[in-house]
Structure 1
Amino acid sequence: MARQWRYGTVGDVEIARTIGTGPLSIRPHFHETVQVTIVTSGTRAFRTRAGVVRAHAGHAIVIPANLPHAAFPLAGEDDSVNVYLPPGALAGLPGGRPIKVATPAGAERFPPHRLASDLRALLAAAPVSRREPAPTALAAAVMDTSADLPTLAARFAVSREAVIRRFTRETGLTPHAFRVIARLNVARRLLRAGVAPAEAAARAGFADQSHLGRRFRAAFGTTPGRYRGQTYGPEDVTFVPDSRG
């Protein structure tokens, strides 16, 4: 089986781990949740507007909600467990940049229902990280409204091309790409609630189920159908940290 992500939920915590073999690449994207990538072997690395953050086994990378990020491809022994926490789970998390923390030394199990409290302690002890500037008014307008680019260009007295350039420089995504991923996150919520892929595609603004499927797999490493059907039980929600690194 080609390598892909397998997702599941336990309460309001979502967990993803890889299954299959071979390399795995996904397109830049963002999540409505806080992503905690716990490196279990090899290395994981991400690029955001703040630069590149890299972590080896025994460490985790915390990515704030709604922060666009590009994951470096998984290859060889590289692997991780991704845990997605509600946006408010880590109050005070510096916005705009990921943070690397060491996972508890010697821990054999890391239960997700305790992850938020454990991470709060780790983040409190971590060096203070510079907070990235808040989005500009132009970027916020692209993110928070459905206005088209000509309308936004007129509002900010710039060209359509300038809107695209400024937004891309600030976020790492074009306005179109950002809005597609926002719709993918809508579809993700619907699928998690049990909505069928075809209906989720229509409600999230995709042309059809096939269109959603292509975009969804490129961003999240699995198909809408698999994502909707995958669940975890209590026995599945821990990981064993790699002792190396």
Structure 2
Amino acid sequence: MGRVAAMGRPPQVWDYWRPIGSGGGSGIVELGTVRGLDVALPVHFHREDQLTFVLAGRRRFVIAGDLREAGPGEGVHIPAGTPHRSLCGADEVVCINLYTPPGLYAAPEAIAGLAGHWRRTGGLGWPDLTRIAEDHRRPIGTGVEPASAFTGCDAWDSVGDAARRAGMSREGYSRRFRKHHGVPPHAFGLQERLNEARLLLRAGESIAAVAADTGFTDQSHLGRCFRRAFGVTPGRYRAG
């Protein structure tokens, strides 16, 4: 995360990394590293649990309508499927995000383990992250899957189709959906498509194929939406 920016451009704020092969036996899906001032992202959610651990500055999130903050040596757990957005602060932020299968790790204990190691050694490497996470893996069968925000319809349906299936007006369906899930149905549908794109890119599919498979007009359309939600282009994400 200490790389120098090329040609005088500002450093990349967001990067995503994935373990090669088995990742040392870890269940971690991927690691995100964040460094910069402009760390704000709009409302989105992940299919994985997110564990954010701050090394410098302060990370600020609005999670299900509540403001959460974490400073150096502190962390935040965002459960899978939970709408959230991140805010900018006054100082540069340096932090890591661990993305893990829903409920696989005991998040508060894992964050405490990361904090203890960081205080003792002043650093965190990939072996440290995987070891500490595995120290807090829950027994098989105790994890939880995120509930789908759609009931009785396809998440990629139009709002009108979903409302008809639910026997409601479009306006009534949208109001109830937003009240229950924190985001309007069209925003949820877009985010589901982006999360599917994220999964396909991790599997190595071409950007053009991913755009077609997830219902985007073309690569440019996918790229604009993807970067806005996750801070990086699909190409940079795929290369992680």
> For residues 62-141 of structure 1, what are the structure 2 equivalents within 5 Å?
62-73=77-88, 75-90=90-105, 102=112, 103-104=115-116, 106-108=119-121, 109-110=123-124, 111-118=128-135, 139-141=149-151
- Please, which runs of 5 or more residues in structure 1 have no aligned partner? 122-133, 231-245
TM-score of the superposed pair, with normalisation by structure 1: 0.74
Preserved CA contact (<8 Å) 2:37 2:92: no
Residues 213 and 146 of structure 1: is their aligned pair in 2 closer, same or farther, counting only changes over 3 Å?
closer
Residues 131-158 of structure 1: CA deviation (Å, up to 9, x unaligned): xxx97x9x53288644433343344443
Residue in 2 that maps onto 1:26 = 41
Percent sequence identity is 39
TM-score of the superposed pair, with normalisation by structure 2: 0.76
Moved more, 166-175 or 37-46: 166-175
Aligned length: 210
Preserved CA contact (<8 Å) 2:152 2:165: no
**Comparing both chains, which one has the higher relative contact order based on Cα–Cα distances under 8 Å and sequence gaps of 6 or more?**
1
Whole-Å separation in 2 of the counterparts to 1:117 and 1:140: 32
Whole-Å separation in 2 of the counterparts to 1:113 and 1:181: 28
Residue in 1 that maps onto 2:213 = 203
Residue in 2 that maps onto 1:190 = 200
Per the alignment, in what secondary structure is the counterpart of residue 81 of structure 2? coil
- Please, which runs of 5 or more residues in structure 2 have no aligned partner? 1-8, 139-145
Residues 159 and 100 of structure 1: is their aligned pair in 2 closer, same or farther, counting only changes over 3 Å?
farther
Matched, 1:15 2:31: yes
Preserved CA contact (<8 Å) 2:61 2:67: yes
Whole-Å separation in 2 of the counterparts to 1:71 and 1:143: 30
The CA RMSD measured in Å over matched residues stands at 2.9
> For residues 152-171 of structure 1, what are the structure 2 equivalents within 5 Å?
152-171=162-181
Residue in 2 that maps onto 1:5 = 14
**What is the one-letter code of the residue matched to 1:171?**
H
Whole-Å separation in 2 of the counterparts to 1:75 and 1:118: 35
